[in-house]
Structures are given as structure tokens and as C-alpha cells.
């Protein structure tokens, strides 16, 4: 799909399939509404630090950086933002 229509491929890639499968498996193992609510809310907050990567990579590619270094820098940015989220989030009342 992405070869013919990059936007359509991106739409498919952006679907939260892993999150939905994880919630189904968690519910099957432990059908607890409060636990599921906490899981879904924490998932939302953990998605946010990954989003800037999808802006950095195309910016780097358009400036001529090769794909692998751009991907690596995007991943490093995401790791740094995950560390920031897990460190700073609870200080602001986020239950992660």
C-alpha cells in the first residue's frame, strides 16, 4: 500500500493495532475495568513522546541526511522523550 500511496500506508501504520491487541489480551487475563482504564490512559501519555520522531525524520531527510542516521536520531529523540515522560510525568500528577 505504501508503495502506491505513502499517505495510505502511513494511515495503516498509524492504527493502534498493538495497543488494541494488548488491551484485548489484558482484559482476557484480568477483566478489571479500573486496571484497563489505567492501562489505556497510560498508553495515551506514552504515545505522545513518540510523535516528534515523525516530524524530525522527514525534516532530516529533506535536509539531505541519509535514512539510517535520520532514523537513528529519531529513535534517540524518542528514547530521550520517554525518559523525560517517565521522570517528569509523575511529578505533574500523571499516573504512568
Query: Residue ranges per domain, the chain?
Result: 1-30, 32-96
Give the model confidence (pLDDT) of 14-33 as tens digits: 889 999 999 999 999 999 99
- For 78-87, the CB contacts below 8 A with 24+ separation are 78/49, 78/50, 78/52, 78/53, 81/49, 81/50, 81/52, 82/46, 82/49, 82/50, 84/49, 85/45, 85/46, 85/48, 85/49
Sign for the CA dihedral angle at 39, 40, 44, 49 comes to: positive
| Neighbour tally for 41: CB within 10 Å | 13
Give the model confidence (pLDDT) of 42-74 as tens digits: 999 999 999 999 999 999 999 999 999 999 999
Q: Structure pTM?
A: 0.82
Amino acid at each position: 500500500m505504501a508503495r502506491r500511496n505513502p499517505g495510505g500506508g502511513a494511515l495503516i501504520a498509524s492504527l493502534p493495532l498493538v495497543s488494541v491487541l494488548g488491551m484485548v489480551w489484558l482484559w482476557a487475563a484480568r477483566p478489571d475495568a479500573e486496571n484497563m482504564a489505567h492501562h489505556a490512559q497510560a498508553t495515551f501519555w506514552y504515545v505522545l513522546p513518540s510523535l516528534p520522531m515523525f516530524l524530525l525524520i522527514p525534516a532530516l531527510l529533506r535536509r539531505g541526511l541519509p535514512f539510517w542516521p535520520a532514523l537513528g536520531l529519531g529513535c534517540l529523540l524518542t528514547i530521550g522523550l520517554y525518559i523525560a515522560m517517565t521522570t517528569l510525568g509523575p511529578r505533574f500528577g500523571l499516573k504512568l
